[in-house]
Amino acid sequence: MSSGSQYLTGDPSAIAEFIEKFDTFLFDCDGVLWSGSQSFEGTAETLEMLRNKGKRLVFVSNNSTKSREEYKKKFDSMNINCNVEEIFGSSYSAAIYISRKLRLSPPKNKVYVLGVAGIETELDSESIPHVGGTDESLRREMTGDDYEKIASGEMLDPDVGIVLTGLDFHVNYLKISLGMAYLRRGAMFLATNIDTTLPSNKTLFPGAGATSAPLIAASGKEPLALGKPSQAMMDAIEGKFKLDRKRTCMVGDRLNTDIQFGIEGGLGGTLLVLTGVSTKEDFLGGGKEVVPMAYVDKLADLASK
Ligand SMILES: O=C(O)[C@H](O)[C@H](O)COP(=O)(O)O
Ligand SMILES: [Mg+2]
């Protein structure tokens, strides 16, 4: 029984008709263009085919580990043509939300980061002060002295007004305890994204939602996530790229981020690619919450003759 999602693979005329509905394609990255450091076959050619048809491409990743510049290097390393201005990641989304929406008055606008360099670089690009993150002095066991200095506040920065979590490859008890202390003192809780899994090397690893889970559990608070499916991110993208939402299609591998992002954003279309997190069983057969307009086995199917 059809779920209302059109299977395009192997149907060149249906593919051509689908592509012609849109002027802009928002592309997810992990699980669509690549898996870890390995790009899927035909990715570069498919994106060039769309550019040659006059389509505009925007790369919208929830992966907070890289800044726009670092993503540009990853595209270059895979010989995938891309302009840094086309990249819009969750760390950038969080940084502009903090600087242009929240606009906390200094000095209380400092951010405690549970994440890695991509977040720090994008906060720097918006001149937002930050602590934690890749600070090597925090990558250690917690000591008795730490308990005392956290409890007394001596180890806390009085200017921290926000705790921001992302995918953190160096989570530990000390860093979670510092995040908890800031939240208990009233800091705002934000996340670049809360994807539970990271598709890489054609399997799944813990995602940002998994590395921030200990702080969510300990603090009893849920962060405001600023990556997909957040419509704050969609609004920022619309503003920057002057989108015509009805002529825009979101292409992704994950139903509860990419496809939900496109549907809730009122985009003209959504396309699921089956090379990442979500499977056909997750949206076919009726009664499913999030159903893409169409789906393909892999991105390169869009360029197949
Ligand atoms: O855990 C994460 O951060 C995400 O799984 C991952 O990085 C998603 O990246 P995207 O598929 O949005 O490019
Ligand atoms: Mg993805």
pLDDT band at 3 (very low <50, low <70, confident <90, very high): low
Active-site annotation holds for 157: no
Residue nearest to atom 2 of ligand 1 (CA): 207
Query: For the chain, what are the domain ranges?
Result: 6-62+229-303, 104-225
What's residue 10's pLDDT?
96
Output the residue whose Cα is nearest ligand 1's atom 3.
63
How far is ligand 1, taken at its centre, from the CA of residue 122, in Å? 17
Q: Whose CA is nearest to atom 6 of ligand 1?
A: 63
Per-residue DSSP letters for the chain?
---SPEE-TT-HHHHHHHHHT-SEEEE--BTTTEETTEEPTTHHHHHHHHHHTT-EEEE----TTS-HHHHHHHHHHTT----GGGB--HHHHHHHIIIIII-PPTTTTEEEEES-HHHHHHHHHTT--EEETT-GGGSS---HHHHHHHHHSTTS-TTEEEEEE---TT--HHHHHHHHHHHHTT-EEEES---SEEEETTEEEE-HHHHSHHHHHHH----EE-STT-HHHHHHHHHHHT--GGGEEEEES-IIIIIHHHHHTT-SEEEEETTSS--GGGTSSS--S---SEEESSGGGGG--
Give the mean model confidence (pLDDT) for residues 34-60.
97
Q: What is the mean pLDDT of residues 246-275?
A: 98
Cβ distance 92 to 118 under 8 Å?
no
Q: Which residues are annotated as a binding site for Mg(2+)?
A: 28, 30, 253
104-225 and 6-62+229-303 share a CATH fold = yes
Domain 104-225 belongs to what topology? Rossmann fold (3.40.50)
Percent of the chain surpassing pLDDT 70? 99
Ligand 1-lining residues (CB < 6 angstroms): 28-31, 61-64, 167, 193, 195, 197-198, 207-208
pTM value is: 0.95
Which tens digits make up the pLDDT trace of 174-221? Answer: 999 999 999 999 999 999 999 999 999 989 999 999 999 999 999 999
Q: What is the pLDDT of residue 1?
A: 38
Q: Average pLDDT of 112-123?
A: 98
Average pLDDT value over all residues in the chain: 96
Query: Does pLDDT of 301 surpass 90?
Result: yes
* pLDDT value of residue 179: 98
Q: Residue 2: pLDDT band by 50, 70, 90 thresholds?
A: very low
Token pair of 180, please?
A: 């908890």
Write the CB contacts of 276 (distance below 8 Å, at least 6 apart in sequence): 28, 30, 31, 32, 35, 199, 252, 253, 254
Give me the mean pLDDT over the 156-174 stretch.
98
Position 236 pLDDT exceeds 80: yes
Is there a catalytic annotation at residue 30? yes
Ligand 1 atom nearest to CA at 208: 1
Chain centroid to Cα 59, Å, comes to 10
Average pLDDT over every residue of 157-167: 98
How remote is the CA of residue 89 from the centroid of ligand 1, in Å? 10
Atom of ligand 1 nearest to the CA of 28: 13
pLDDT digit string, tens, across residues 5-26: 999 999 999 999 999 999 999 9
Quick check: ipTM above 0.90?
yes
Residue 286: what pLDDT? 85
Cα of 108 vs centre of ligand 2, distance in Å, is 34
Q: Considering 28, 168, 195, 258, which one is annotated as catalytic?
A: 28
Candidates 3.50.50.60, 3.40.1160.10, 3.40.50.1000, 3.40.50.300; correct CATH number of 6-62+229-303? 3.40.50.1000
CB-CB contact of 168 with 120 (8 Å): no
